[in-house]
Amino acid sequence: MKIAFFGAGQIGSALIKGMLHSNRISASEIYVKGGHSQTAANLQKELGFQLLTNLNDLFEMDLLVIATNNNNVLPILKSLPKTVLDKKIPIVSVAGGINLIEMTSVVGADYPVAHCIPNTPVQVGAGVLGVSFTKNIQPEEKEFILKSLSPLGAVYEVAEDDLGIVGSIAGCTPAFVAMLIESLGDAGVLHGLKRDLAYELVEQMLQGTATLALENKLHPAVLKDGVTSPGGSTIRGVAALEANNFRHALIAAIDATMSE
Ligand SMILES: NC(=O)c1ccc[n+]([C@@H]2O[C@H](COP(=O)([O-])OP(=O)(O)OC[C@H]3O[C@@H](n4cnc5c(N)ncnc54)[C@H](OP(=O)(O)O)[C@@H]3O)[C@@H](O)[C@H]2O)c1
Strand 3-6 vs strand 30-33: parallel, antiparallel, or unpaired? parallel
pLDDT at position 74:
98
Q: What is the pLDDT of residue 186?
A: 98
Residues 190 and 202: their CA atoms lie apart, in Å, by 14
Q: Residue 90: CB within 6 Å of ligand 1?
A: no
Exposed / middle / buried, residue 38 (Cβ in 10 Å: 0-12, 13-18, 19+): exposed
Domain 166-258, what architecture? Orthogonal Bundle (1.10)
Nearest C-alpha to atom 20 of ligand 1 is from which residue?
9
- State the distance between the two ends of the chain, measured CA to CA, in whole angstroms: 38
Task: Answer whether 10 contacts ligand 1 (Cβ < 6 A).
Answer: yes
**So what's the pLDDT on residue 63?**
98
Ligand 1, residues 10, 31, 158: which to mutate, most atoms within 8 A of Cβ? 10
Domain ranges of the chain: 3-158, 166-258
Which CATH number, 3.40.50.920, 3.40.50.10420, 3.40.50.720, 1.10.1040.10, labels domain 3-158? Answer: 3.40.50.720
Q: Does the Cβ of 70 fall within 6 Å of ligand 1?
A: yes
Question: Tens digit of pLDDT per residue, the chain (260 long)?
Answer: 999 999 999 999 999 999 999 999 999 999 999 999 999 999 999 999 999 999 999 999 999 999 999 999 999 999 999 999 999 999 999 999 999 999 999 999 999 999 999 999 999 999 999 999 999 999 999 999 999 999 999 999 999 999 999 999 999 999 999 999 999 999 999 999 999 999 999 999 999 999 999 999 999 999 999 999 999 999 999 999 999 999 999 999 999 999 97
Residue to mutate (ligand 1; options 69, 73, 163; most atoms within 8 A of CB): 69
CA of 84 from ligand 1 middle (Å) equals 22
Identify the pLDDT of residue 260.
72
Q: Determine whether the shortest distance from the Cβ of 92 to ligand 1 is under 6 A.
A: no
> What pLDDT is recorded for position 189?
98
Distance CA 176, CA 253 (A): 9
Kindly tell me the burial class for residue 58, based on how many C-beta atoms sit within 10 Å of its own C-beta (0-12, 13-18, 19 or more). Answer: buried
| Residues contacting residue 9 through CB under 8 Å, at least 6 positions apart | 35, 39, 67, 68
Query: Rg for the chain (alpha carbons), in Å?
Result: 21
Task: Check residue 245 and give its pLDDT.
Answer: 97
Q: Is 54 annotated as a binding residue?
A: yes
Phi-psi region of 237 (alpha: psi -120 to 50; beta: other; left: phi over 0): alpha
